[in-house]
Amino acid sequence: MKTTVLRFFNFLIFTILSCFGISSSEQVMAMYGVPSGEFQVSGRVKNLKSKPIQKIEVEIQDSRNNTLATTTSAKDGSFTFDYQGWPHQEVYLISRDIDGCRNGAYQSDTTLVKLDYPQQGWNQGKAEVEQNITLKYKSIRKNRRYMQK
């Protein structure tokens, strides 16, 4: 008798919660459409003398530090990201020197890029941004510490 009553209440609670869209799974199901947008971020990586820098890793992250894509700058310093999915309002371009001193040693840099979509609603269209990155030279001098006795 006790088991039957508990099963009935479990069924009743499950039915009520499922009417409100609450389930026990961790997977999120997209029903009836979700907002979407596309963006293209392109540009060039240059040094302070406006010379292009090759082999700089450029990573694009959203505001929650999720990596959306990674690429390496070409010989002329150019890079391009094409993204289709959730319409982010702003993204970060994180640039790192990955080849050491071969093309000069450069400091890492983070650039905030604001995206302006042409439409509102479920499909926000395609935002295109050209963002150039200027990197500073990295000081290679080693810090010397003098110990006092």
pLDDT per residue over 23-81, tens digit each? 555 555 555 677 889 999 999 999 999 999 999 999 999 999 999 999 999 999 999 99
Which residue intervals of 25-86 are DSSP H helices?
A: none
Instruction: Note whether 108 and 97 are within 8 A (CB).
Output: yes
pTM over 0.75: no
pLDDT per residue over 4-31, tens digit each? 887 887 887 878 877 776 655 555 555 5
Helix/strand/coil percent split, the chain, to 5: 10, 40, 50
- Domains of the chain are 36-135 (2.60.40.10)
